[in-house]
């Protein structure tokens, strides 16, 4: 069983090999909506797989939310290689215990299975190579249109509720890899209605900016609906608890 080539309509087990060797079919162009989705994911949990032997790169994303990855798989159509189990919760726990880092070896929390989605290799994905010249760096000119910012938030964002008397949440985004470039990160938001602060490796929004943020990025994505619950701490907590039994697994064979 193969995947249908969008150029010729035939099915191939190795679709990228078909494009590389065919005299009549070439790599199809990637729609902008796919690139927006992948860019946002790469700003969060995603990474590229780019060994020296590969002519083109691919995108990999690991996540505990299998529902979210299945949604991404559906959106990317033929570009996606599908979603597979990467590590069970027991395997992750055992790996943590073997770590030389105390902060990892001592972790004791409800660990969930980890799934991975990989894309096919494609020349259009080579645009992300320069992000990884050393450690991951975002381009200073990166466009944070709603689709990009939404996926970044879904992968690496949090709602902070503060003390019990704080009734309105605040969004923050983890950007530890850009800790030394606050001006660049703040500048990414110049084309958005949001003007966050950046400190200690985090993009921080006020409660008012958080309202603007959710209006800007739009509707939730499947699996991570709880990250969009802003109408009460109690509702948020219940939605987050439901997330684990609805959209994640433990020790799946």
As a dihedral over the C-alpha atoms of residue 101, residue 103, residue 108, residue 112, rounded to 10 degrees, the angle is -80
CATH of the structural domain 146-247, one choice from 3.30.460.10, 3.40.47.10, 2.60.40.420, 3.10.28.10: 3.10.28.10
Running DSSP on this structure, what letter comes out for residue 28? P
Q: What is the pLDDT of residue 102?
A: 46
pLDDT tens sequence for the chain (253 residues): 678 888 787 787 777 777 777 767 778 899 999 999 999 999 999 999 999 999 999 999 999 999 999 999 999 999 999 999 999 998 988 887 776 554 443 444 578 999 999 999 999 999 999 999 888 999 999 999 999 999 999 999 999 987 665 678 999 999 998 999 999 999 999 999 999 999 888 999 999 999 999 999 999 999 999 999 999 999 999 999 999 999 999 987 5
pTM: 0.89
Distance of alpha carbon 82 from alpha carbon 67, whole angstroms: 12
Q: State whether CATH 3.10.28 applies to domain 30-132.
A: yes
Q: Is 83 helix (H, G, I), strand (E, B) or coil?
A: strand
The size of the chain, in residues, is 253
Start and end residues for every CATH 3.10.28.10 domain found in the chain? 146-247
Q: Is 59 helix (H, G, I), strand (E, B) or coil?
A: strand
Distance of alpha carbon 128 from alpha carbon 47, whole angstroms: 9
């Amino acid at each position: 069983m193969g995947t249908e080539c969008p150029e010729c309509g035939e099915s191939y087990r190795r679709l990228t090999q078909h494009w590389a060797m065919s005299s009549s079919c070439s790599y199809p162009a990637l729609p902008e909506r796919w690139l927006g989705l992948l860019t946002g994911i790469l700003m969060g949990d995603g990474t590229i797989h780019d060994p020296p032997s590969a002519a083109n790169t691919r995108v990999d994303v690991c996540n505990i939310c299998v529902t979210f990855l299945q949604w991404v798989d559906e959106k990317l159509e033929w570009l996606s290689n599908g979603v597979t189990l990467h590590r069970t919760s027991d395997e992750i726990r055992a790996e943590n215990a073997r770590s030389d880092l105390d902060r990892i070896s001592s972790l004791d929390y409800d660990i969930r299975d980890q799934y991975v989605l990989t894309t096919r290799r494609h020349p259009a994905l080579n645009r992300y190579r320069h992000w990884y010249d050393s450690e991951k760096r975002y381009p200073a000119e990166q466009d944070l249109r709603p689709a990009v910012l939404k996926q970044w938030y879904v992968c690496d964002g949090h709602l902070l509720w503060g003390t019990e008397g704080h009734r309105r949440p605040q969004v923050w985004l983890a950007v530890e890899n850009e800790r030394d470039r606050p001006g660049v990160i703040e500048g990414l938001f110049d084309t958005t209605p949001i003007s966050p602060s950046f400190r200690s490796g985090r993009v921080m929004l006020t409660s008012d900016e958080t309202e603007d943020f959710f209006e800007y990025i739009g509707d939730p994505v499947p699996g991570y609906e709880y990250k969009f619950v802003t109408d009460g701490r109690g509702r948020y907590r219940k939605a987050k608890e439901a997330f684990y039994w609805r959209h994640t697994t433990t020790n799946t064979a």
